[in-house]
Amino acid sequence: MTAPAEHEFTLDADSELRLDLLLARELGTSRTHAATLIANGNVHVGDKREKASYRPVAGDRIVVLLPAPQSREVLAESIPLSVVFEDEHVMVVDKPAGMVVHPAPGHWSGTLVNALKGRGGELAGENGEDRAGIVHRLDKETSGLLLVAKTDVALRQLGAALAARRVVRRYAALSWGHVTGDKLTVDKPIARDPRDRKRMAIVSTGRAAKTDFVRLARFESVDLLRAHLYTGRTHQIRVHLASVGHPVVGDDMYGGGGGRRLVELPQHRHFLHAAWLIFPHPVTGESVELRSPLPAELQRSLAAVADSEALLVHPDPLDDLGFYRLTT
């Protein structure tokens, strides 16, 4: 059994924050979790227990005993998956919107990893059971192509290819308003939002993040963009577009959730789809190129903003709009 971890720090100056808020910031967790630690006696200021409302002062030594995380078995579940490529080394799944990639608090079942285990067969295990086979992630409400490694060798090779930017990931995004010019590069560092740990934000001390955007079509109130990732930070495309004032359509977290009826987008769905994936095979080194047409709900939304019923029956409207033509 893993022993509890101890976190200790001393204040150089009086705190402007209550103890629970100070702990939340220090530990990178929620205020509720910090308050629970205090209430359960896991936090001492000096030799005393203090209330969550206590305001620490200069010289206070704060010791936090962090309980060891409880391990949970990741269950195999019979959940249908759309597999667009598979051999004995690697698999590419076309993930639907609404599916979480791996188990985490609040999502212990129904995830992509549960579904992968339900299929049987080998999965890379170096990432741990809860992330078995996962090479990279997609947000819950983002659909599209996702790499899965079936062996540890494949996992390491694909991870190295990602780090070396030899894995090409291009997304279709609908953004509110109109970006400046037909091409836009956003190169801004991203980290956890210090005011809300569930969100990401542009933070000067964050990790480097770069995204290229190309406008494929301009409609009355939205733009259709092709986004190319150079890095893979959490919520990167969503945060970068929000930072220039043009959030992803339907993105409730970053300011793009309004106007769903205008674009005929379902509740909780944002218009972001991982449509184009190119990667070097982890064993042969040969280039593998895969495409994923827009899901039906995004195709309906695009047809609505374009006022074109023809897009409803097209097998892949992104093709017609130049998504796969890099000269565009």
Q: Which residues are catalytic?
A: 139
Q: Classify 112 as helix, strand or coil.
A: helix
Of the candidates 243, 111, 233, 246, which has an alpha carbon nearest to the alpha carbon of residue 174?
246
The one-letter code for the residue type at 68 is A
Q: Give dist(CA 19, CA 45) in Å, integer.
A: 9
Q: Give dist(CA 149, CA 131) in Å, integer.
A: 11
> Could you give phi then psi for residue 302, rounded to 5 degrees?
-65, -40
Cα pseudo-dihedral 46, 47, 51, 56, rounded to 10: -10
Residue 291's alpha-carbon distances to 30, 41, 90, 98, 273, in angstroms, are 38, 53, 16, 20, 11
Q: Classify 55 as helix, strand or coil.
A: coil
